[in-house]
A and B are shown apart, each in its own frame.
Chain A
Amino acid sequence: MISKATRVLSLLNKTEKKAYTIMTLSLFAISLLSIFVLAPGIKVVASFQKKLVEAKKADSQLSVKIENLVKAQQQLKKYEAEIKKLNSAIPNSLSQDIILKRVAFISAESNTIVTEIKFEGDNSVKEEGGLIEISLSFNVNGSQDNIFAFLKSLEEGDRLIKIRQVAIRKDEDINTVMIESSVFYTK
């Protein structure tokens, strides 16, 4: 009887030992599998997931950008003529020679004489929202009507000239007008 119990106990111990061994080996196997197989796989999945999220974000940003560009293109088409006018009114360079030619042309057209024309120095340059304003002053001699015609032509010209101040001085028959104005160009 005792021998039978001893045999059963021994068998139980053997079974328990075997279970411990299998359990331990399984856990080590899972650990190694996690480190050498699972980890690289999950890393690849994680990086692709991140790329997917960012690609979706980029896609939505690009969609908005494309929509805006389409709107801009439509508006550009609609206002093409006005934009040409705007570009000639406010060009992207100062081009003093063109302004001088324009003033000389208006002066000849209105029978007035420009005696002095002066672009102000750098300290009078104002810049706001990409628009650069340069002060331009000139003296003009002529009859009152001719001077009015000169001012009218100056204001109605293609190039935007903002007349800030006009001072008229009369010496005998000659009217001398001192005009302070601003011309604009963009960067």
Chain B
Amino acid sequence: MFNDKDILTIAIATLITSLIWVTVSSLTAYQRTSFTEVSQEILSPIESEINFEGIF
């Protein structure tokens, strides 16, 4: 039915597919990860130039 070369070809194709799958799933995991330890409220910038010099 299948000779040795056919099975080897299938094995190579499986390897390539699995490597692609590993890459894609890693990239997806990277994209989905978000940093939640510090809330956005704390990270929001305050007025970058707090300057009373001009007022008084």
Please list the residues of chain A having a beta carbon within 8 angstroms of any beta carbon in chain B: 16-17, 20-21, 23-24, 27-28, 30-32, 34-35, 38-39, 42-47, 49-51, 54-55, 58, 61-62, 64-65, 68-69, 71-72, 75-76, 78-79, 82-83, 86
Contact = CB atoms under 8 A, between A and B. Distances in A.
Interface in B2-30: 4-5, 7-8, 11-12, 14-15, 17-19, 21-22, 25-27, 29-30
Nearest to B32: A47
Contacts of B30: 46-47, 49-50
A129 to B, nearest CB: 12
B1 interface: no
20 contacts: A21-B4, A28-B11, A30-B18, A32-B18, A35-B22, A38-B22, A39-B22, A42-B25, A42-B29, A46-B33, A47-B32, A47-B33, A50-B30, A51-B33, A51-B35, A61-B43, A61-B45, A62-B38, A65-B43, A65-B45
Given A21-B4, A50-B31, A72-B50, 7 more contacts: A28-B15, A31-B17, A34-B19, A54-B35, A58-B43, A62-B38, A62-B43
Most buried by A among B5, B18, B34, B56: B18
Contacts, number: 109
Given A27-B15, A28-B14, A65-B46, A47 B29 contact: yes
List 7 tightest A-B contacts by C-beta distance, closest first.
Answer: A54-B35, A27-B11, A20-B4, A47-B33, A43-B29, A50-B33, A46-B30
Nearest to A86: B55
A71 B25 CA distance: 45
A72 B46 contact: yes
